[in-house]
Amino acid sequence: MRALLITAPGEAEVREVPAPRAHGGEVVVEVEQAGVCGTDMELFHGTLSYIRDGFTTFPIRPGHEWCGRVRSVGAGVNHALVGQRVIADTMLGCRRCARCRAGRHHLCAIRTEIGIRGDQPGALAERLVVPAWALHPIPEVLSPAAGALVEPGGTALRAVRAAGLTGGEEVLVLGGGTIGLLCAAFAAVSGARVTVADPRPEGLALAGRYGAAAVAVDDLPDEPAFEVVVDASGAAESPARGVQLTEPGGRLVLVGLPGQPAMIDSRELVFGDLTVSGLLGASAGLEGAIVWYAAGEVVPDDLVAAVVGLAEIPDVLRGVRPAGAGPGPKIHVQPTRHG
């Protein structure tokens, strides 16, 4: 089968690799559609902290935002799964440690992450193997784009849940990328009044479609103005700006991952009596994202600017935007597409 490999920092190519086989407890999924994530870009450039810390080594087969159909099953797996449309949890814990047994497998110290951490090949390929326990069925009503956006949707939904919205709050989302716009969408359908801030005009172009007002970061006030701030920007200065803009007694949710350490003055948290949450991964939000998407309450399809084949992904990782791409922040791949 064909798969994308990142062979070294700044080097990626599509290769023919052995087709995967399902062993006990596993399934082989034929990938319908997959997304290229900012994490994949960091893997390509060699800047992801997992590489520095030794959790991930080259070559890497990336891709963790995807949907597909079960093609075959290994021993001990129900054959009724064959043909089922699915996504899977990216975070694969050991299932034995205290964190895993408590339902926090996404924090397992020895976890692998599909296409990111460890040796679990990702979905920028025609097929991939995943443990059957990590699967989540998705309905036929979901478009391929929506299916492949369940993973970022799960992360965004977790962020909005952490905000504890009851309706009517003034919410600021810092960052108009995929996660930020999905945070805005989930907050809006929860009854909040949402503003999305981004320094880039393209990051604000879709805010209105997801129920949010749009504002340039430089036009934000210098004093507290929002009961809830969600930082989904990935900018190192953004968490501190979030503290500055959160009303006393309010909530700050951190879901963006800066490429370098982000500094917050803890005294401002104390004096503001702020509740701060940091979130890793989509695991606990996947089922909810599927439900919201299937109900049509949040329709993420406009986030996809273009759908390309595997052969175009090396250029996408280098920052080349496909010809004719729309305003959305996300590039998707149909791995079986040729030409």
| Residue type for position 305 | A
Tokens for 142, please give them. Answer: 């979901």
How many Å apart are CA 233 and CA 337, to the nearest integer? 32
Instruction: Specify the CATH number for 156-278; select among 2.115.10.20, 3.40.50.720, 3.40.50.300, 1.20.120.450.
Output: 3.40.50.720
pLDDT single digits (tens) 219-271: 999 999 999 999 999 899 999 999 999 999 999 999 998 888 899 999 999 99
Q: Is pLDDT at 338 greater than 80 in this prediction?
A: no
Mean pLDDT of the chain: 96
Average pLDDT over residues 170-177: 98
Percentage, residues of the chain above pLDDT 70? 99
Specify the domain boundaries for CATH 3.40.50.720 within the chain.
Answer: 156-278
Residue with tokens 């280098």: 318
- Phi then psi for residue 115, to 5 deg, are 75, 10
What do you get for the CA distance between the two ends of the chain, in Å?
Answer: 16
Average pLDDT over residues 4-27: 97
pLDDT single digits (tens) 77-102: 999 999 999 999 999 999 999 999 99
Specify the domain boundaries for CATH 3.90.180.10 within the chain.
Answer: 2-149+300-333
Where do the H-state alpha helices sit in 77-231? 98-101, 144-148, 150-162, 178-189, 201-204
CATH fold label, 2-149+300-333: Quinone Oxidoreductase; Chain A, domain 1 (3.90.180)
Report the pLDDT value the prediction gives residue 260, as an integer from 0 to 100.
Answer: 84
The angle at the Cα of 65, spanning 56 to 210, to the nearest 5 degrees, equals 130
Q: Determine how many CB atoms are found less than 10 A away from the CB of residue 280.
A: 13
Q: Determine how many CB atoms are found less than 10 A away from the CB of residue 322.
A: 14
Helix axes 150-162, 178-189, angle to 10 degrees: 50
Q: Is pLDDT at 3 greater than 90 in this prediction?
A: yes
CA separation, residue 251 to residues 147, 164, 190, 214, 236 (Å): 30, 8, 16, 21, 19
How many Å apart are CA 67 and CA 34, to the nearest integer? 7
How many Å apart are CA 156 and CA 150, to the nearest integer? 10
Quick one: how many helices (H) and strands (E) in the chain? 11, 17
How many Å apart are CA 137 and CA 290, to the nearest integer? 9
* pLDDT band, very low/low/confident/very high, at 337 (cuts 50, 70, 90): confident
Report the pLDDT value the prediction gives residue 2, as an integer from 0 to 100.
Answer: 97
How many Å apart are CA 105 and CA 96, to the nearest integer? 9
Q: Is 108 left (phi over 0), alpha (psi -120 to 50) or beta?
A: beta
Residue with tokens 């080259």: 58
Average pLDDT over residues 304-326: 96
* pLDDT band, very low/low/confident/very high, at 339 (cuts 50, 70, 90): low
